[in-house]
Amino acid sequence: MIKKIFDLIESAEKILIITHVNPDGDTLGCACAMKSYIGEKADILVQVSKGKSYPEIYSFLPYLKKAKTLDNVENIYDTVICLDIASVDRIVENAREIFNKARVTINIDHHKTNKGYAAYNHILGSLSSTGEVIYEMFSISGKKITLEMAECLYVSILTDTGCFKYETVTPRTLQIAAELAEIGVNTADIASKCYDLKPKTMVMFQSYCTSNAKFECDDKIVYTLISKETMGKFSAKDEYTEGICELLRSIKSVEFAFVLKETSDNSTKVSMRSKQKDATLIAKKFGGGGHTRSAGCTIKKSLNQSILCLLDEVRKYI
């Protein structure tokens, strides 16, 4: 499959590299590494619409400033490459039309819930990040990884492992990190760019959400509800909620942590983190998915109704 994918990239005329909705460091890092490898004939699509953007901290990555968005992407691609996209419903609006029309569709991912929705699928559910999957593809094929690509892949692996903290980290993950450092990646500089340049209001907003958290089942379950009003009060961008769930999970007694964000009157976005149990079992109940310790879903109910439904489910797993 790896050779086939490189052959397809070679023979493609115009390639669109698609990142998932609510883009994170993994999907963006992979897209930039892939764009760096392919060159001119590839464009990156960051799936955001007018007025929205990818998390600002990643603006140091190459190529993102010139990336297409849902507002300006044209349906002119014969080949699409989906990176870190767990399911086809994370390809939205006109991006889905482009995906459907493309002659060749490639899906490279590490989500164990990925069912392989493209014509060519390369999914390694046990790897830490899609960055690691891509590194291995280049490594196995004997293709050169330039410093620019190495920096992008390092961002992917660093951020998707929570700074090499998660149990998805294997000896091979660390070996790859070392190999990227040997290529010349300044690991301290990248870590600082990813974690020490948060806007002041983001940290204030996160403290507010954390202090409003509620506990259930002898403090084994913790959750915080974030209304549109709260988002507005802090002028919070979507990315400002990143990290709250991990912080709540870090409480000693906690097994499950949830962050519920109101997206409209009848829609709530749920992020979940667990310590031992499989969070995907809960996410799947609501049509979502993800990883064992980090999953998500959208519940088509109000914020207050959503938490009741969610608590009903999660109590079964405690």
Among 43, 132, 148, 160, the residue binding Mn ion under the rule CB under 5 A is: 160
Is residue 238 at the binding interface for Mn ion, with CB under 5 A as the rule? no
Distance of CA 6 to the CA centre of its chain: 24
Report the distance separating Cα 141 and Cα 122, nearest Å: 14
Binders of Mn ion among residues 125 to 154 (CB under 5 A) are: 130
* Region binding Mn ion by CB under 5 A among candidate stretches 62-70, 157-165, 217-225, 282-290: 157-165
CB of 305 to Mn ion, least distance (A): 30
The residue among 9 and 134 lying less far from Mn ion, judged by its C-beta, is 134
Question: What DSSP state is assigned to residue 68?
Answer: B
Closest CA to 109 of 31, 4, 183, 13: 31
CB of 205 to Mn ion, least distance (A): 24
Phi then psi dihedrals of residue 113, to 5 deg = -85, 0
The residue among 44 and 221 lying less far from Mn ion, judged by its C-beta, is 44
* Region binding Mn ion by CB under 5 A among candidate stretches 78-86, 173-181, 201-209, 271-279: 78-86
106 contacts 82 by C-beta, under 8 angstroms: yes
The residue among 134 and 209 lying less far from Mn ion, judged by its C-beta, is 134
Phi then psi dihedrals of residue 75, to 5 deg = -90, 70
Binders of Mn ion among residues 7 to 26 (CB under 5 A) are: 26
Which residue in the block uniquely carries the two structure tokens 């400033």? 65
The residue among 177 and 221 lying less far from Mn ion, judged by its C-beta, is 177
Closest CA to 5 of 157, 133, 180: 133
Report the distance separating Cα 118 and Cα 108, nearest Å: 9
Is residue 84 at the binding interface for Mn ion, with CB under 5 A as the rule? yes
Is residue 109 at the binding interface for Mn ion, with CB under 5 A as the rule? no
* Region binding Mn ion by CB under 5 A among candidate stretches 3-11, 99-107, 124-132, 251-259: 124-132
Residues forming a β-bridge with 45: 18, 68
Binding site for Mn ion (CB under 5 A): 26, 84, 130, 160
